[in-house]
Structure 1
């Protein structure tokens, strides 16, 4: 039974029921499935999910960040393998930005979220920010987050 007086407990009970697990567990599932390591920045108060069971070519890794005091503070990072990347509809494009590694990132509007989409290594990254806080978490802030997903590539 869900505890009404403990919002953290509520989230920890509901999300696993719909397929979420710890970020580390979902990341391990993703890495095992694709045989590659995925590098991400660290956050607190998050849930991870490796989705490989709904539809053909729907495999992706997702991290959802929730602040229980403010539902509008809802963030997501979704990583799709490039061979399953999500197409960007031109009518959703709000702007484009050049990341520090010279990758072009596309800022788009989707239902409930503004998102920054870019490719890095073998993945298509999408950083989602709830539209209700897009005046605080501006496209420039999301670009800074995208630029922080930068690590040295090891060449064998």
Structure 2
């Protein structure tokens, strides 16, 4: 059920990416681009992070490092924070003029995290510092996922497949390591 919910969110993001790539070619302004995200519940990262931390009754630490690609906008939202205990924080980095530059972070308590079937796992990564991660190119069409747990949360780093040569599993692991303890 959680996987289906995440897949729905990721499919929505993919649809939005393609929609905005068409809009960007039609002189879609930054203001129009931003407004379209605000209309579907996104806000700034700091506000969503504060609301989600309050909801989970503990601080959520975000990666300090970003992928080595250009972004023009960042958006975030807490998914149904008032209604359900198993909500998540969604953060989206996107370039309105280069829709392939699309990176997302999903954060939720580990007890509500994704359970990934073995046949969807491309690579398992285990680091000396205790980081255990799963890399998958098969769960969501068009996106690669890097899934790991830290500080009592499950983090899902999602990157558009079209930039997988720049944002490799090694880069995603560096990003995971940049989350403060």
TM-score when scaled to structure 2?
A: 0.74
Structure 2 CA distance for aligned equivalents of residues 55 and 113 of structure 1: 28
Deviating more after overlay: 47-56 vs 126-135: 47-56
Partner of 1:120 in structure 2? 150
Residue 49 of structure 1 aligns to a residue in which SS?
strand
Partner of 1:146 in structure 2? 176
Alignment of 1:82 with 2:82, yes or no, is no
The alpha-carbon distance between structure 1 residues 20 and 131, as it changes in their structure 2 partners (threshold 3 A), is: same
Partner of 1:105 in structure 2? 133
Cα deviation for residue 55 of structure 1 reads 7.7
Cα deviation for residue 29 of structure 1 reads 1.1
* Between structures 1 and 2, the one with greater strand share: 1
**Aligned-residue CA RMSD in angstroms?**
2.3
- The structure 1 residue matched to 2:42, chosen from 20, 23, 26, is 20
The answer to whether the 8 Å contact 1:78/1:126 transfers is yes
User: 1 or 2 for the larger relative contact order (CA 8 Å, sep ≥6)?
Assistant: 2
Alignment of 1:95 with 2:123, yes or no, is yes
Q: How big is each residue's C-alpha offset from its partner over 1:91-144, in whole Å with a ceiling of 9 and x where there is no partner? A: 110101124522211101222211110000110001001011112211111111
TM-score when scaled to structure 1?
A: 0.85
Name the count of aligned residue pairs.
150
Structure 2 CA distance for aligned equivalents of residues 143 and 37 of structure 1: 21
Partner of 1:40 in structure 2? 62
